[in-house]
Amino acid sequence: MDVRVVDHPLAKSRLSTMRDARTNSAAFRAALQELTLMLIYEATREAELAEEPIHTPVAKTTGYRIANPPLLVPVLRAGLGMADQAHRLIPEAQMGFVGLARDEETLLPTPYLESLPADLTGRPVLVLDPMLATGGSMVHTIELLVERGATDVTAICTLAAPEGVQRLEEAGLPVRVVTASIDERLNESGYIVPGLGDAGDREYGAV
């Protein structure tokens, strides 16, 4: 499985803001948006381009556009904080939604929303979720996409645990991962260490 760690100094600085327990909700959301910009930028580096002739005020030249815009899929709640920024970078993208809440006892994802196009054959998909912890939520999401015919999925995660990366790899799903860090481990409660806490709670408040 292809795993790309974006360790650009600006990415490290935004991730540190997110990790810092003193960062309030508004600043956390702002840093997440800025980091999302960098992760999407890297994730789309090899996106196929279509050429078209354009006229500048001076001359005729070749213009480019994304040939096959991806479907963006934020995983609610926490992935919602990445959605607008990703859409700003790829305005022609369509967006689908998956809602999952992890059971804090079993650590299994409980699905509560699924709004996706029926046919994803031939369409790249970018899944947006700040956290890849046990990997259960991401595996569930990608299985929904694969059922619909997706074969080219990129998981955009600000942070990943080695356990989650391994789980995705073992699942044998057609996915690559773009993240700003692979942290040390999960703790006994399934939180990433050192991590940043509960991403959804830090963005929107505890439920």
Ligand X SMILES: O=P(O)(O)OC[C@H]1O[C@H](OP(=O)(O)OP(=O)(O)O)[C@H](O)[C@@H]1O
Ligand Y SMILES: O=c1cc[nH]c(=O)[nH]1
- 182's enclosing H/E stretch is none
Should residue 199 be labelled a site residue for ligand Y when binding is judged by CB under 6 A? yes
Residue from 133, 158, 162, 171 touching ligand Y (CB under 6 A): that is: 133
Interaction residues for ligand X, span 23-82 (CB under 6 A): 75, 77-78
Residue from 69, 162, 174, 190 touching ligand X (CB under 6 A): that is: 190
In the block, residue with structure tokens 């999925």:
153
CA–CA distance, 156 with 178 (Å, rounded to integer):
5
Kindly indicate which of the ranges 39-47, 49-57, 147-155, 189-197 contains the residues binding ligand Y, using the contact rule CB under 6 A: 189-197
**CB neighbour list of residue 172: distance below 8 Å, 6 or more residues apart:** none
Should residue 96 be labelled a site residue for ligand X when binding is judged by CB under 6 A? no
Identity of the residue, 102 or 123, whose beta carbon is nearer to Mg ion in the bound complex: 102
Identity of the residue, 123 or 202, whose beta carbon is nearer to ligand Y in the bound complex: 202
Closest C-alpha to 36, from 15, 17, 66, 19? 15
Flag whether 151 is marked binding. Answer: no
CA distances to 159, 176, 183 from 200, rounded to whole Å, are 13, 23, 18
Residue 192, contacted partner among Mg ion, ligand Y, ligand X, none, CB below 5-8 A by kind: ligand Y
Give ∠ CA 129-135-141 in degrees, rounded to 5: 60
Residue 191, contacted partner among ligand X, ligand Y, Mg ion, none, CB below 5-8 A by kind: ligand Y
- Taking the C-alpha atoms of 182, 167, 77 and 93 in order, what is their torsion angle to the nearest 10 degrees? 90
Should residue 101 be labelled a site residue for ligand X when binding is judged by CB under 6 A? yes
What residue ranges bind ligand Y (CB under 6 A)? 78, 131, 133, 190-192, 195, 198-200
